[in-house]
Amino acid sequence: MKLLAALDAKDRKLLLGCLVAVLVLAVVTAIFGRNENSDENTVPSSYLTGKHGARAAYDLLVASGYKVERWEQPLADLANLADGQTVVIVADPLVMAEDDLQAVRTIVAHGGLVLVTGWSGGLIAPKGNVRPPTRFQTACQLAPQGLDPLAGSGEAFMVPEATWGVNRPGDRVQYNCDGAPAVVEYADGQGRVVWWAGSTPLENASIARAQNLNLFLNSLGPRQGHHFYWDESLHGEARTQWYYARGPAMYLLVGGLIAIALLIVFSFSRRRGPVRDLPAPVRATPVEFLEALGSLYAEAGASTTAVELAYDRFRRKMGGLCGLKAARMNAQELAAALRRRFPGAAPELEKDLADCEEAMASQELKPKQALALIQTLSRHGETLDAAVRAGVPR
């Protein structure tokens, strides 16, 4: 069975070609498409499940009853909603604009708490005092400083990406890494800022290590009465609903739509050109038709039927010549009418018509006998037609 046999051959080839192209596009996209959840992705996003992602921390907050949500719109919109109960997590922001810096300042000025991490987090923090790291980026066991609740979170580990200046008395260093500040808390206006030298304690692979979870929860403050926002807008995430449709599936969908559009264009344009008429079917010759009809009668054993059809046709035609077109006459009446119309008709006319009528009532008529009777009727018909054309008088 041919595939898509109902289509034209050219349309079938075009459709199969487009399907093959879509399959190739899908395979290439699957092979070379970026895996957002791979361990090589270092973005601490609450969507990612790789070792550097922060999906576990976000799900833990949700399961623990924290009123938390992801924020994917511009930070300026969140700044307009912020108050003293607002807590914002800005983990290693990737993209920052002046509007984002001003939005963080506004959130803190309204009394909110902002947790920022990494070098870029120190840059976005209001009155930030971030410095380049003083050691290689390797895991460091943090040493608590002071008696604040945040410093009492317990043993914690972090891979610092930066450090903090120590020239401001208002900045309270909660943890050190080899003598360099790693966790700093300070007040700014009505709000507070907590800065981490790296996002390691909230990442999927490290949040369960030692007391990293305690450090994370103590940095956020009490759960009751606060609204927590995990910012994703500064991770380069799209700020529209189309973000969720991107990736290999989106590329495959676009490629498939393009292929379908090309298929429609090509199919329509071909039909708009000159259309050649189909060749006329080859008709069988009269001899072939007669042979086929004879074979049909022979296989059905319908010799009587053949004689009956031929006789009925002869009777209707001859009745018309005699002016008795609609009359139903037997062989004797038909012979008498023809004899009156054509006195010079063949002497055996009456006998031949009687033989035909007798044959129509027989169930054992042989094909040769039926053929002889039909030929006889045909000869009589041709003779009488010739007499009519010659103008034989009544």
Domain map of the chain by residue range? Answer: 9-33+247-271, 55-245, 286-389
Say how far apart CA 88 and CA 94 lie, in whole Å.
16
pLDDT score of 267 more than 80 = no
Q: Which of 208, 201, 204 is nearest to 51 (CA)?
A: 204
pLDDT: is 8 or 220 the higher one? 220
pLDDT: is 110 or 253 the higher one? 110
Q: How confident is the model at residue 160 (pLDDT cuts 50, 70, 90)?
A: very high
At residue 206, the pLDDT reads 92
DSSP 8-64: -HHHHHHHHHHHHHHHHHHHHHHHHS--TTSTT-----TT--STT--HHHHHHHHHT
Say how far apart CA 354 and CA 182 lie, in whole Å.
128
Element (H, E) at 183: strand 180-188
pLDDT score of 244 more than 90 = no
pLDDT score of 203 more than 80 = yes
At residue 301, the pLDDT reads 67
pLDDT score of 271 more than 60 = no
At residue 61, the pLDDT reads 95
Whole-model pTM above 0.85?
no
The whole-number average pLDDT for the span 270-291 is 66
Q: How confident is the model at residue 239 (pLDDT cuts 50, 70, 90)?
A: very low
The whole-number average pLDDT for the span 321-348 is 80
pLDDT score of 8 more than 50 = yes
At residue 332, the pLDDT reads 84
At residue 36, the pLDDT reads 54
pLDDT: is 387 or 123 the higher one? 123
- If you average pLDDT over each of 2-11, 103-112, 294-303, 309-318, which comes out highest? 103-112
pLDDT score of 112 more than 60 = yes
Q: Hey, what amino acid is at 319?
A: G
Share of the chain above pLDDT 90, in %: 36
Say how far apart CA 142 and CA 368 lie, in whole Å.
118
Q: Which of 42, 199, 26 is nearest to 116 (CA)?
A: 199
The whole-number average pLDDT for the span 3-16 is 70
At residue 177, the pLDDT reads 92
The Cα-based distances of 235 to 76, 107, 250, 330 in angstroms read 15, 19, 20, 105
Share of the chain above pLDDT 70, in %: 85
Between 24-33, 93-102, 234-243, 280-289, the lowest mean confidence (pLDDT) is in 234-243
Q: How confident is the model at residue 110 (pLDDT cuts 50, 70, 90)?
A: very high
pLDDT score of 1 more than 50 = no
At residue 5, the pLDDT reads 62
Asked whether the beta carbons of 203 and 55 are under 8 A apart, the reply is no
The whole-number average pLDDT for the span 40-51 is 86
CATH of segment(s) 55-245: 3.40.50.880
Average predicted confidence (pLDDT) for the chain:
83
pLDDT score of 394 more than 50 = no
